[in-house]
Amino acid sequence: RKDLGRDGYSFFDSSMNANAQEYLQLIHDLRFAVERGELVLHYQPKFDDPAQPVVGAEALVRWNHPSRGLVLPDDFIPVAEKTGLITAIDNWVLNEACRQLKIWRDTELGADWTVAVNVSAVQFRHPQLIETVRQALDRHQLPARSLILEITETTTMRDVEESLAILQQLAKMGVKISIDDFGTGYSSLMYLRRLPANELKIDRGFVRELKQDTEDAAIVSAIVALGKALSLNVVAEGVETMSQQKLLAELGCNSLQGYLLGRPMAADDFMCAADDRLQT
Ligand code: C2E
Ligand code: CA
Ligand code: CA
Ligand code: CA
């Protein structure tokens, strides 16, 4: 570890399983990833009801690195947030997702689909956010209600008053707000009541080992009750097994996302999969 600095401290995450050289290389490569067209979006289907057709997709970014292959967001989004590169990435994601959604909505099958885009903590507070969203919708001639912005509970909890102001502007424009990774922060009821959101996404952590009569099950049913009381759609993410799906239904949660129903996939594959579902 001699390359980590003379005075014995490291400004690199110890979790970063790469040496300093490699980390710097990553930042360097990432700087050009957008302009070189190396980013791609995969789309994971969302269901209001697993027995019904797809209602939309969540866009998930991947980096097609020339030598490393497909890099997942957890390996470059945190770096992008620290270096400020996230703004260019998030803007690209927003525009690309809107471009794709427009193509889908011009087909019979996808006419009512929505697309959900993840907004990083940095991007959420960017002064240009509202304008950027408005421009993306205009450019691709999409109704605001066809776009869902996923913002984590933790992000909205930081400076609550400012968050409310931003969310109110977005809601006024007509875009939908989904509170991602819900249950991991500590939103108060008072706060939630004021939050102009449309959806709560139960964090995958509560679904992973979901079993009857466990703490996780109690938390899921509490979130479902909360959603009902506040007229919010409640979605469970990370659904991998039939038994999870069944139990979620028993707990009152039918809106689902997860490998069981569909993995994130390239746009063309997404359309084929949605079409196949209707045929069978
Ligand atoms: P997230 O928003 O909570 O997204 C869900 C993650 O869970 C995705 O990982 C998805 O592929 C994965 N997943 C979906 N279903 C299942 C399942 O049944 N089982 C398991 N084990 N995993 C499942 P992914 O694509 O690696 O993304 C990780 C995180 O990176 C996302 O978490 C999100 O916070 C962030 N991210 C992804 N795309 C973007 C983006 O375009 N912009 C920003 N700012 N962040 C993004
Ligand atoms: Ca998400
Ligand atoms: Ca999530
Ligand atoms: Ca997450």
Q: Residue 99, SS3?
A: helix
- Can you tell me the distance from the alpha carbon of 234 to that of 213, in angstroms, rounded to the nearest whole number? 20
User: What interhelical angle do 129-139 and 86-105 show, nearest 10?
Assistant: 30
For ligand 4, a single-atom ion, the residues with CB < 5 A are 181
Q: With 80 as the cut, is the pLDDT of residue 248 above it?
A: yes
The per-residue pLDDT for 216 is 95
Strand partners, 191: none
The per-residue pLDDT for 239 is 98
Q: 0.90 cut: is pTM over it?
A: yes
Name the residue type at position 92: W
Ligand 1, residue 120: give the atom nearest the CA: 44
Q: How far is the CA of 180 from the centre of ligand 3 (A)?
A: 5
Among all bound ligands, the one having the nearest atom to the CA of 263 is 1
> At 13, is the pLDDT very low, low, confident or very high (cuts 50, 70, 90)?
low
**pLDDT above 70: percentage of residues in the chain:** 93
- For atom 7 of ligand 1, the residue with the nearest CA is 238
Q: Which regions of 47-145 does DSSP assign to beta strands (E)?
A: 56-65, 69-71, 114-118
Q: How far is the CA of 60 from the centre of ligand 1 (A)?
A: 6
